[in-house]
Amino acid sequence: MGIFSLVTGWPGSSGFGSASTAEQVAEGIDAGNLTAIITGGASGIGAETARVFALRGAHVIIAARNMEAANDTKQFILKSNPAARVDTLKLDLSSLKSVRSFADKFISMDLPLNILINNAGIMFCPYQLSEDGIEMQFATNHLGHFLLTNLLLEKMKSTARKMGIEGRIVNLSSIAHLHSYDEGIRFDNLSDTDGYSDKKAYGQSKLANILHANELSRRLQEEGANITVNSVHPGLIVTALWRHSFLLMRILKLFTGIFWKNVPQGAATTCYVALHPSIKGVTGKYFFDCNEEKPGMMAREENLGKRLWDFSEKLIKSAQ
């Protein structure tokens, strides 16, 4: 898209750009027959995504760790849209046990599943291990979503077959995927304190989001499943993600303020990739400002994606 488009909001080939909002990209779309899960849908761009999905008629499942915030978001949506269909379910992505519990509860609801938005995440947090003994940013941003997606995949496949509607999975990544560790993914010392960097660990998890989307897309294409998988960069936005780096955020915004988006703009690319008819059949791609872009070189390495897939499966098995 380039700096000019980013600053001015000039639309790209999709007809949308950095200034487009989630409501605008979903305008005129009838999602009344769709059911969507949005992780981290209780706040920030996840909550805006949930609001716009509900506004377009979708049945929205807000998956969140903080149930009070999730229910507040539900009530906020219902206040302006009384006909909205919104449910909340507890999900702590840093806990593989919680991920399994969420999947079991959702499947027991006997609902279809057309769209999965892997939106939730944490950023720049100090070194910490999850309850499963895995570095926290990798555990939350990648591994929890990896397991969740796998547990819900058969439901998505059966929904796509029964309804004849393409399923869509969207992984929220970040331009930070360009700033991971030198080796990309620290397969041999993922959870070590030595050499840990909160910024690079975040970049590593965001690189993993793209690699996961690309490898899953490849596998689904091979078996002919009617499901697409793409990754997106929402842009620079002031949300609770910055809670561990408030000072850094203030400094960055001081010098790069013209590049920052508001929350409705931040949710636009997610809504575009998940709902827009022009994206039908598009899979294994990376989107930025509602337009397809090339991610970094490591994010395009198929062998790295395959290795990450096998590594993730082993991590999950070892944590059981």
User: What positions carry a catalytic annotation?
Assistant: 196
Asked if 174 and 201 count as a contact pair (C-beta separation under 8 A), the reply is no
CA-nearest of 20, 43, 10, 71 to 264 is: 20
Q: Which of 209, 218, 181, 212 is nearest to 196 (CA)?
A: 181
Find the angle CA(301)-CA(153)-CA(231) to the nearest 5 degrees.
40
Helix (H) / strand (E) element for 59: namely strand 59-64
CA–CA dist 59, 163 (Å, integer): 15
- b/e for 111-125, b at 16 or more Cβ within 10 A? ebbbbbbbbbbbbbb
Burial class (CB in 10 A: 0-12, 13-18, 19+), 64: buried
C-beta neighbour count of 38 within 10 angstroms? 28
- AA letter at 163: M
Q: Say if residues 59 and 189 touch (Cβ distance below 8 Å).
A: no
Q: What are phi and psi of 282, to 5 degrees?
A: -85, 125
